[in-house]
Structure 1
């Protein structure tokens, strides 16, 4: 059985208001495609009620670092009371959705996901020694990359939904003063 390290578990983001559902998931897909992840959509269904639609989407993009380590980010999105609204933005009418959105984010790291080191006890022992001493730096680097990708997609979703306050100063604190 492969070893699973839970790096981020159940980070939650809630939002209520107008949003562009199709645009949101296009941005998320583009984000993971740019970083080399493969797309896996495990759930995508919609139910219609009198109060509005209820949409459940679960994405599990993954990236195989090599034949031993695999990174996976899980995004579970739940939308309720979703109703379509036509909004005019800069003189152009756009179809947006209004409702409540909840997101849960997880980041996991799988080692020996192909189960190559489990056939015999000696190989299992060698895998443990290898994990502790030989592949330690590689695994730690993959953990940090996976955590960073998960936190970046959380910030991307927050920015897309316009949940963060806009500031005039850049985050780095460096300013450009022209002459």
Structure 2
């Protein structure tokens, strides 16, 4: 039986102008850089996508996107680190904004990104299928492997904080704690876009 341990649940909420296509790609690339998505598996990380166009033009589109990503620890297959990312976008309208004298297509609306980081011990149930290992499995992960388990949980927690920090940098939101220079460029759009 796979044993999950939560590391961190957090969310970022933003209302304003953003480039959804660029935002989507940058978060995917960041997950790929951290090892949660490989160059081939990024096509399969999106487990759910729904888009609803409201008949009232003032309400715009509403979208849900769920990503389920994971990576194995480097030295063992006993631990699998997961980072789930859920997007919920509401009141999305396509607009055009002026950026450096050029028209740029963008979206205006409300976006909420939920991050959930956790680890799973024995994801393939190899210990539960073995006649001897299933007897000592609870003792192993509660006592013997407790320090290593906490190290893995802290690794996932730090990764989720970095994802959250990147999203806040990209969207221009205030952060608490130390800020770092982002590897990827920030959004090329002004904080409040002008209609062209």
**Interval of TM-score (by shorter of Structure 1 and Structure 2):** 0.7 to 0.9
2:31 is the alignment partner of 1:32: yes
Q: CA deviation at 1:23?
A: 0.9
- What's the counterpart of residue 141 of structure 2? 131
Equivalent residue number for residue 157 of structure 1: 167
Q: Which runs of 4+ in 1 moved over 6 A?
A: none
Task: Write the deviation string for residues 50-75 of structure 1: whole angstroms up to 9, x where unpaired.
Answer: 22111111112211113110011111
Q: Which runs of 5+ in 1 are unaligned?
A: 173-179
Question: Normalization by structure 2: what TM-score?
Answer: 0.78
Tell me the number of residue pairs that the alignment of Structure 1 and Structure 2 aligns.
167
**What's the C-alpha RMSD, in Å, of the aligned pairs?**
1.9
Shift of 1:126: 2.0
Could you report, residue by residue, the CA deviation over 1:3-40 in whole angstroms, capped at 9, with x for unpaired residues? 0001113x222111101111111111111111111241
- Equivalences for 1:1-150 in 2 at 5 Å? 1-9=1-9, 11-38=10-37, 39=42, 40-49=45-54, 50=56, 51-65=59-73, 66-119=76-129, 122-150=132-160
Q: Please, which runs of 5 or more residues in structure 2 have no aligned partner?
A: 181-196
Deviations 1:140-161 (A, max 9, x none): 2211110001111011111111
TM-score (norm 1): 0.85
CA deviation after TM superposition for structure 1 residue 79, in Å: 0.4
